[in-house]
Amino acid sequence: MRILFLGDIVGRSGRDAVEARLPELRRRLGIELAVVNAENASHGFGLAPAMADTLFAAGCDVLTLGNHAWDRKELIGHIGSAPRILRPLNFPPGTPGAGSVLVSLADGRKALVVNAMGRLFMDPLDDPFRIVPELLSRHRLGVTVAAIVLDFHAEATSEKAALAHLLDGRVSLVVGTHTHTPTADHRILPGGTAFQADAGMCGDYDSVIGMGKEAAVAKFVRKMPGERLQPADGEATICGLFVDTDDATGLARRVAPVRIGGGLSPAMPEA
């Protein structure tokens, strides 16, 4: 299965870039499953339902979230009827929405997509090292599902790497989001799971992790309340990861970074 994962969309420039580029990326790379983190898509904070609809129309199969899941309050009442929008699996019981979804491809194969959130330097949620394996105990990679993708929305690289090693051989891909900076550690772990500590963001990199430079710098310099951070609106770079899995096992055969446009060095896998 050919899988494309795109990192956190930040603001209008990120949305516009994904909407413009994703259809061609799907054709060029033969993408069968496209998963995109959209928790910062709405002015840098949250996801509006109408924006989700536009991203689905552009070719996103699943949208994942994170610590900004409820910044757009209207999503709370919408997410229960939108199974392809995931909030973190380890949110407390009774939280609206779901943290995983089974996606059926046109040829009948199924892929499980999971969204979880870290706890180091983040909110004290349920333990992802317990709750994710518990979910995976109900699915068998290469048997009941052809692929399993985990978006681990976390601050600490150590926590992301530790969970990836725990799940090595049980999932197709563990990819980190949240820090908005692409790491250079994309690889296939010994058990066959593809991993990257952070996919980066789809947004303007002439910024402070996607937000306008002046206001963001002022917060560090003055240590005083200031204007609300706004997403930078220059040309966005699309950042993500391409994974090709073995249909017999569900494990990764190839992993490569994807970077298009904006200010970072380009990277494009061979088709």
Catalytic residue IDs: 68
pLDDT tens digit string along 138-193?
Answer: 999 999 999 999 999 999 999 999 999 999 999 999 999 999 999 999 999 999 99
Q: What pLDDT is stored for residue 223 in this prediction?
A: 78
Single-letter amino acid, residue 198: D
- CA distance linking residue 19 with residue 179, whole number of Å: 22
Residues of the chain with pLDDT under 50: none
Q: What is the dihedral of CA 200, 48, 136, 126, to 10 degrees?
A: 90
Query: pTM of the entire structure?
Result: 0.95
The class that CATH gives domain 2-260 is: alpha beta
Nearest CA-CA partner of 86 in 153, 158, 139, 161: 153
